[in-house]
Amino acid sequence: MYVVISVKIEKIKKTKSGKYKIKIDGKDIITYDDVILKNKLLYQKEIDNETYKQIGIDSIYYDNYHKALNYILRKLRSELEVRLYLEELGTSNQDTEKIIKRLKEIGFINDLVYTKAYISDSIYLKNDGPKKIKQYLLSQEIDEFVIDEELNLIEREVIYDKLEKLIVKKLKGDRKNSAYQLRQKIIIEMVNLGYDKDMILEILANYDIDDSDKMAKEYGKLYIKYSRKFHDYELIKKIKDKLYAKGFDIHDIENFIATKKTD
């Protein structure tokens, strides 16, 4: 025979945090208004043991739900981010699906909105290029068609202007590398940021990266250093090798040496 055990609800009080404290048989339970309404606790003085257990189950669910909600309110999140967060909280698979479904229904999880916002922030507030943006969104399990469709809405001129500013900044800021080294360094950095290599080369072609002054300075140092030991062909070869080792382009070195011979 099944015996129904009743427990007494002594007090229900709202806390400063907006939650509710229920005192049942001398024990305090912190819960939410959803739990109180769902289990019809406002007008009951006693509840059976099954309802008591259900309050505990529901409290865990709504605690994880509100944590997920606050997680999104701090920053827009993808569905995958919310799932991983709920997993960290130890949420059951069943509760996770219920929470995700509810958050979608009220518009707090929307991967299309997330994609639009992430692309906009990356284009206008960060240095990331289209390929890096796409790579990240794919890692968030956003549909590739959605990503491509949204990225295609960004005008080429916007990407071009942004990339050009980044490249010009690099060109103005570098005082150490040779022209060849600087060019290669910029290409690698911009590709890693997610920009198209053809666009990078197109922009670089508009700027004269000349390091003849640097080469002349290095040539003078090397000539003084090695002219005491080497002469003629051996001296020129030694200087060429050292200039190449310092990162100067071999064609630029040959042209520079040729001009020196005609001086």
CA distance 96 to 65: 9
Same fold, 6-105 and 111-151: yes
pLDDT classification of 198: cutoffs 50, 70, 90: very high
Residue 2 has pLDDT above 50, yes or no: no
Alpha-carbon distances, residue 168 vs 121, 148, 181, 188 (angstroms): 22, 28, 15, 15
pLDDT classification of 61: cutoffs 50, 70, 90: very high
Q: For 238, what's the count of Cα atoms within 13 Å in the CB-facing half-sphere? A: 16
Average pLDDT, the chain: 85
- Adjacent-strand bridge partners of 48: 6
Alpha-carbon distances, residue 255 vs 8, 178, 223, 250 (angstroms): 96, 15, 17, 9
SS3 (DSSP) at 154? coil
What is the arithmetic mean of pLDDT over 207-215? 65
Please tell me the least confidently modeled range out of 30-39, 83-92, 168-177: 168-177
User: Given the structure tokens 């000349």, which residue do they identify?
Assistant: 210
Angle between helix axes 179-192 and 156-173 (nearest 10 degrees) is 140
Q: Give the pLDDT of residue 175.
A: 61
Domain boundaries defined on the chain: 6-105, 111-151, 156-204, 212-262
Higher pLDDT, 64 or 211: 64
pLDDT digits (tens, 9 = 90+) for 63-99: 999 999 999 999 999 999 999 999 999 999 999 999 9
| CATH class of the structural domain 6-105 | mainly alpha
Q: Give the pLDDT of residue 215.
A: 65
Architecture of domain 111-151: Orthogonal Bundle (1.10)
Distant-in-sequence, close-in-space partners of 223: CB < 8 Å, separation ≥ 6: 235, 239
Q: Give the pLDDT of residue 25.
A: 73
Q: Give the pLDDT of residue 263.
A: 52
Higher pLDDT, 122 or 44: 122
What is the arithmetic mean of pLDDT over 151-167? 95
Alpha-carbon distances, residue 194 vs 131, 164, 165, 187, 229 (angstroms): 4, 14, 15, 11, 49
CA distance 157 to 150: 16
Q: Give the pLDDT of residue 84.
A: 97
Q: For 161, what's the count of Cα atoms within 13 Å in the CB-facing half-sphere? A: 7
Q: Give the pLDDT of residue 216.
A: 67
Residue 9 has pLDDT above 80, yes or no: no
